[in-house]
Chains A and B, each alone.
Chain A
Amino acid sequence: MNISKSSIALGLFIVLRLWSASAFADEKMTAEEIIAKSRLAFYYAGDDMKAKVLMELINKEGQKRIRELTMLKKDYQEGGDQKYFMYFYKPADVKGTTFMVYKYPDRDDDRWLFIPAINLVKRIAVNDKYSSFVGSDFTYEDISGRKPDDDSHSLLRKEALNGKTCYVIESIPKGYSEYTKRISWIDDTNFLPLKEEFYDKQNELYRQFEAFEIKDINNIPTEIKRVMNNTKTGHRTEVTFQSTEYNLRIGDDIFSERYLRRPPAEWIK
Chain B
Amino acid sequence: MDKVTCSDRIIYLFLLLSFGFWFLSPPLYGAEEPSIKGFLQTNYSARITGVKLPGAKRQELMLGEERGRLEGSYYPPNSNIGFDVKADLFHDWVEDSWGVALREGYMDYLMDKFDVRIGRQIVTWGVGDLLFINDVFPKDWEAFYSGRPLDYLKQGVDAGKLNLYTELASAEFIVIPHFTPDNLPSIGRFFFFDPYPNIMNREVEKPKTTFVNTEYALRIYRSLGGADLSAYAYKGFYRDPAMRADNFTSPTTIAHFYPELAVYGASLQKSALGGVISAEYGYYDSMDDRNGKDPGIENSQSKFLIGYQKAFQNDLTVGLQYYGELMPQYKEYKANLPPAFFRKKELHQYITLRVTKLLKYQTVKLSLFTFYSPDEEDFFITPEASINVTDNMLLALGANIFAGVKDNATFGQQHKNSNIYVLTRHSF
Chain A residues within CB distance 8 Å of chain B = 57, 59, 63, 65-66, 90-93, 95, 108-110, 117-120, 122-128, 130-132, 134-136, 235, 257-258, 262, 265, 269
Which residues, 142 to 160 on B, are CB-close (under 8 Å) to A? 150-151, 153-154
Cβ 8 A contact of B163, one of A91, A118, A122, A258: A258
Report the nearest A residue to B361, measured CB to CB: A135
Within 8 Å of chain A (Cβ to Cβ): is B18? no
Within 8 Å of chain A (Cβ to Cβ): is B22? no
Within 8 Å of chain A (Cβ to Cβ): is B391? yes
The interface residues of chain B lying within 8 Å CB-to-CB of A91 are: 391-392, 427
Report the nearest B residue to A261, measured CB to CB: B163
Please determine whether A66 and B276 come into contact, CB atoms closer than 8 angstroms: no
Please determine whether B276 and A124 come into contact, CB atoms closer than 8 angstroms: yes
Please determine whether A65 and B315 come into contact, CB atoms closer than 8 angstroms: no
Q: A118-B151, A124-B276 are in contact. List 9 more A-B contacts (CB 8 A).
A: A92-B39, A92-B391, A93-B394, A118-B124, A119-B124, A123-B278, A128-B313, A131-B311, A269-B77
Please determine whether B108 and A125 come into contact, CB atoms closer than 8 angstroms: no
The interface residues of chain A lying within 8 Å CB-to-CB of B150 are: 118
Q: Which 3 A-B pairs have the closest CB atoms?
A: A135-B362, A91-B391, A117-B151
Q: Count A-B pairs with CB separation below 8 Å.
A: 100
Q: How far is the CA of A127 from the CA of B122 in the complex (A)?
A: 28
Given A123-B228, A128-B312, A131-B314, A93 and B39 touching (CB < 8 A)? Answer: yes
Within 8 Å of chain A (Cβ to Cβ): is B75? yes
The interface residues of chain B lying within 8 Å CB-to-CB of A92 are: 37, 39, 391-392, 427-428
Closest Cβ of chain A to B169, distance in Å, is 11
Please determine whether B315 and A257 come into contact, CB atoms closer than 8 angstroms: no
Cβ 8 A contact of B362, one of A117, A134, A257, A258: A134
Given A123-B228, A258-B170, A65 and B391 touching (CB < 8 A)? Answer: yes
Given A110-B226, A257-B221, A132 and B315 touching (CB < 8 A)? Answer: yes
Q: How far is the CA of A204 from the CA of B121 in the complex (A)?
A: 53
Cβ 8 A contact of B425, one of A59, A93, A127: A93
The interface residues of chain A lying within 8 Å CB-to-CB of B400 are: none
Q: Is the interface of B mostly helix, strand, loop or mixed?
A: strand
Report the nearest A residue to B308, measured CB to CB: A125
Closest Cβ of chain A to B166, distance in Å, is 11
Given A92-B427, A119-B122, A132-B361, A127 and B165 touching (CB < 8 A)? Answer: no
Within 8 Å of chain A (Cβ to Cβ): is B110? yes
The interface residues of chain B lying within 8 Å CB-to-CB of A128 are: 311-315
Please determine whether B361 and A57 come into contact, CB atoms closer than 8 angstroms: yes
Report the nearest A residue to B39, measured CB to CB: A93
Chain B residues within CB distance 8 Å of chain A = 32, 35, 37, 39, 75, 77, 108, 110, 115, 121-124, 127, 150-151, 153-154, 163, 165, 170, 221, 226, 228, 269-271, 274-276, 278, 309-315, 317, 358, 361-363, 388, 390-392, 394, 425, 427-428
Closest Cβ of chain B to A219, distance in Å, is 29
Closest Cβ of chain A to B172, distance in Å, is 10
Cβ 8 A contact of A131, one of B123, B271, B278, B315: B315
Cβ 8 A contact of B271, one of A117, A126, A265: A126
Report the nearest A residue to B313, measured CB to CB: A128
Given A91-B427, A93-B427, A125-B317, A257 and B275 touching (CB < 8 A)? Answer: no
Q: How far is the CA of A133 from the CA of B366 in the complex (A)?
A: 18
Cβ 8 A contact of A136, one of B110, B278, B361: B361
Please determine whether A65 and B390 come into contact, CB atoms closer than 8 angstroms: yes
Q: How far is the CA of A257 from the CA of B127 in the complex (A)?
A: 14
Given A118-B151, A235-B361, A265-B75, A66 and B391 touching (CB < 8 A)? Answer: yes
Please determine whether B392 and A125 come into contact, CB atoms closer than 8 angstroms: no
Please determine whether B115 and A262 come into contact, CB atoms closer than 8 angstroms: yes
Closest Cβ of chain B to A47, distance in Å, is 23
23 contacts between A and B (CB under 8 A): A59-B361, A65-B388, A92-B428, A95-B37, A108-B271, A108-B274, A109-B271, A110-B226, A117-B122, A118-B151, A123-B269, A123-B270, A123-B271, A123-B278, A124-B311, A126-B275, A128-B311, A128-B314, A130-B313, A131-B315, A235-B361, A262-B115, A269-B32
Please determine whether B362 and A119 come into contact, CB atoms closer than 8 angstroms: no
Please determine whether A119 and B123 come into contact, CB atoms closer than 8 angstroms: yes
Q: How far is the CA of A119 from the CA of B155 in the complex (A)?
A: 11
The interface residues of chain A lying within 8 Å CB-to-CB of B115 are: 262
The interface residues of chain B lying within 8 Å CB-to-CB of A262 are: 108, 110, 115
Q: How far is the CA of A136 from the CA of B358 in the complex (A)?
A: 13
Report the nearest A residue to B163, measured CB to CB: A258
Cβ 8 A contact of A126, one of B108, B170, B311, B392: B311
The interface residues of chain A lying within 8 Å CB-to-CB of B313 are: 128, 130-131
Cβ 8 A contact of A123, one of B39, B75, B276, B425: B276
Cβ 8 A contact of A127, one of B269, B311, B428: B311
